[in-house]
């Protein structure tokens, strides 16, 4: 008991927007798992909509405090990065001014707050890098490049000030080294901490209906049009990918995070609906925005398989959730899914083309028993390699190690 008390930490987690998404899921899992290890955990954020969030943020397992909700997310749909920086800086300043010192602060996504937090010498800062932001931002015009240059510089400089850097995959770790060359030259290397899924939240699959399921935020980089086009190709005679099956029974459900405050979400949803109509499958494609965890689990329980369309995704939590629910995954043969989906065993990794995806979709439709067999192996794979327990143990050890390093 005495040893456990000495290891108990006061931990703050700073995240820009505690909504619904893969990054938010990781933050919530981190908070829950760290609390289960006996630590005091407090999440600070600039936005937390109680009607659009993960249930655990309302359960009282850990505290959630919002600072700066009045600050804008954009200025006339521009300057998103600067606004995100200002919001997170405001959160960090409030933490410094209003709260007693924490042992460890886990900073998620936005590194600009790290030098502020380091003003308190007793605090250790751990930065979780999902992917270098400078690679996600557009640099397509001279004005954009001018706008991004100081932001990109600040990102690399402040990231290197963290006491420990964690990334979500080996793919991100290699990208980190190739992108932040100055940090790499200084010997700064991140450690990999895979996100995780609680397998027990998913019941055994109820059925394997002829429904293909896509789950992603409604953002263009998620490449959801690939799922719509591949599904439409099943209905095209010249595609010649499906035989001896009644296509009228097949459906595609496109579900995911949707925020009407975000212009891209609104526009992209309309683009996808138009695409389904143009390709003649609008009657068989269902769009569901911001479904709850229970609704998502129900969709996973009854689908045939999950189609995951982002190319070069740095990790991707959806394939893990699908496999944990006992459903195989069709994903692009790049990025994080290469590390989580066992090709030909728990799903298929394909080139990002409609033809390739449609061929595998047809295979599952012709013999749903393949999906059932793969689904069982997928569930076991996640339980063994990507459980929240494993994630929590590794994160807990990382934070204990970095907190003890202050005595060196």
pLDDT tens, residue by residue, 287-300 = 999 888 889 999 99
Confidence of residue 147 (pLDDT cuts 50, 70, 90): confident
Residue 81 Cα to chain centre, angstroms: 19
Q: Which helix (H) or strand (E) holds 328?
A: none
Looking at the DSSP assignment, which residues form a beta bridge with residue 349?
A: 331
Query: How far does the chain reach from its first CA to its final CA, in angstroms?
Result: 25
Provide mean pLDDT across the span 43-56. Answer: 93
**Beta-strand runs (E) in 67-123:** 104-108
- 408 pLDDT exceeds 50? no
Confidence of residue 140 (pLDDT cuts 50, 70, 90): confident
Decide if 169 contacts 128 (C-beta within 8 A).
Answer: no
Provide mean pLDDT across the span 338-347. Answer: 97
Separation of alpha carbons 365 and 194, rounded Å: 32
Q: Which residues contact 369 (CB under 8 A, 6 or more apart)?
A: none
Predicted confidence at residue 278, as pLDDT, reads 96
Predicted confidence at residue 214, as pLDDT, reads 97
Separation of alpha carbons 216 and 100, rounded Å: 38
Provide mean pLDDT across the span 237-258. Answer: 73
Separation of alpha carbons 243 and 237, rounded Å: 10
Separation of alpha carbons 380 and 311, rounded Å: 26
Separation of alpha carbons 63 and 68, rounded Å: 17
- 1 pLDDT exceeds 60? no
Provide mean pLDDT across the span 220-243. Answer: 81
Looking at the DSSP assignment, which residues form a beta bridge with residue 124?
A: 104
Provide mean pLDDT across the span 106-115. Answer: 95
**Structure token pair of residue 52:** 């659009």
Confidence of residue 3 (pLDDT cuts 50, 70, 90): very low
Provide mean pLDDT across the span 123-140. Answer: 83
Confidence of residue 246 (pLDDT cuts 50, 70, 90): low
- 62 pLDDT exceeds 90? yes
Predicted confidence at residue 383, as pLDDT, reads 93
- Comparing 203 with 91, the larger pLDDT belongs to 91
Task: Characterise 263 by phi-psi region: left (phi > 0), alpha (psi -120 to 50), beta (else).
Answer: alpha
Map out the domains of the chain as residue ranges.
2-196+387-407, 199-385
Fold of 2-196+387-407: Rossmann fold (3.40.50)
- 247 pLDDT exceeds 80? no
Instruction: Tell me the HSE value of 357 on the side-chain side, using a 13 A CA sphere.
Output: 29
CA neighbor of 391 nearest in space, from 28, 51, 110, 118: 28
Q: Pick the range with the lowest mean pLDDT from 62-71, 188-197, 398-407.
A: 398-407
Task: Characterise 67 by phi-psi region: left (phi > 0), alpha (psi -120 to 50), beta (else).
Answer: beta
Domains 2-196+387-407 and 199-385 share a fold: yes
Please provide the DSSP assignment of 73-89 as one string. Answer: S-BTTB-HHHHHHHHHH
Q: How many residues does the chain have?
A: 408
Q: Pick the range with the lowest mean pLDDT from 11-15, 292-296, 379-383, 387-391.
A: 292-296
pTM, 2 dp: 0.80
Identify which of 14-23, 72-81, 137-146 has the greatest average pLDDT: 14-23
Predicted confidence at residue 242, as pLDDT, reads 54
- 378 pLDDT exceeds 80? yes
Predicted confidence at residue 262, as pLDDT, reads 85
Confidence of residue 208 (pLDDT cuts 50, 70, 90): confident
pLDDT averaged over the chain? 90
Confidence of residue 131 (pLDDT cuts 50, 70, 90): confident
Predicted confidence at residue 10, as pLDDT, reads 96
* Domain 199-385 in this protein, CATH class: alpha beta
- 66 pLDDT exceeds 60? yes
Separation of alpha carbons 254 and 281, rounded Å: 13
Separation of alpha carbons 60 and 64, rounded Å: 8
Dihedral angle sign, alpha carbons of residues 339, 43, 198, 206: negative
Predicted confidence at residue 203, as pLDDT, reads 85
- 346 pLDDT exceeds 90? yes
- 372 pLDDT exceeds 90? yes
Provide mean pLDDT across the span 138-166. Answer: 88
Provide mean pLDDT across the span 184-206. Answer: 90
Decide if 349 contacts 337 (C-beta within 8 A).
Answer: yes
Predicted confidence at residue 121, as pLDDT, reads 85
- Comparing 2 with 184, the larger pLDDT belongs to 184
């Amino acid at each position: 008991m005495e040893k456990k008390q000495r290891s108990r930490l006061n931990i703050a987690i700073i995240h820009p927007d505690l909504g619904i998404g893969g990054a938010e899921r990781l933050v919530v899992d981190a908070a829950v798992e760290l609390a289960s290890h006996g630590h005091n955990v407090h999440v600070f954020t600039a936005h937390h909509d109680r009607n659009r969030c993960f249930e655990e943020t309302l359960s009282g397992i850990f505290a959630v405090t919002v600072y700066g909700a009045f600050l804008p997310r954009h200025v006339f749909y521009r300057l998103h990065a600067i606004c995100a920086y200002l919001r997170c800086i405001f959160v960090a300043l409030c933490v410094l001014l209003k709260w007693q010192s924490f042992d460890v602060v886990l900073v998620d996504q936005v590194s600009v707050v790290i030098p502020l937090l380091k003003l308190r010498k007793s605090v250790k800062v751990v930065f979780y890098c999902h992917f270098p932001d400078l690679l996600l931002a557009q640099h397509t015009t001279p004005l954009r490049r001018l706008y991004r240059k100081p932001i990109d510089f600040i990102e690399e400089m402040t990231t290197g000030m963290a006491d420990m850097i964690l990334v979500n995959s080996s793919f991100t770790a290699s990208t980190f080294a190739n992108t932040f060359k100055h940090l790499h030259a200084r010997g700064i290397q991140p450690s990999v901490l895979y996100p995780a899924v609680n397998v027990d939240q998913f019941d055994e699959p109820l059925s394997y209906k002829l429904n293909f399921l896509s789950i992603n935020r409604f953002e263009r980089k998620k490449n959801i049009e690939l799922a719509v086009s591949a599904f439409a190709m099943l209905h095209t005679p010249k595609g010649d990918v499906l035989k001896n099956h009644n296509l009228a029974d097949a459906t595609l459900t496109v579900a995911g995070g949707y925020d009407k405050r975000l212009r891209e979400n609104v526009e992209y949803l309309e683009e996808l609906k138009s695409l389904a109509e143009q390709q003649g499958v609008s009657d068989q494609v269902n769009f569901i925005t911001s479904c709850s965890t229970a609704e998502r689990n129900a969709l996973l329980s009854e689908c045939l398989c999950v189609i995951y369309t982002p190319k070069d995704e740095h990790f991707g939590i959806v394939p893990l959730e699908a496999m944990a629910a006992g459903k195989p995954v069709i994903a692009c043969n790049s990025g994080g899914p290469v590390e989580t989906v066992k090709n030909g065993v728990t799903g298929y990794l394909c080139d990002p083309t409609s033809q390739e995806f449609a061929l595998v979709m047809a295979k599952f439709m012709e013999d749903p028993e393949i999906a059932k067999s793969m689904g069982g192996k997928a569930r076991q794979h996640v339980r063994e390699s990507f459980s929240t327990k494993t994630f929590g143990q590794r994160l807990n050890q990382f934070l204990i190690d970095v907190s003890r390093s202050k005595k060196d």
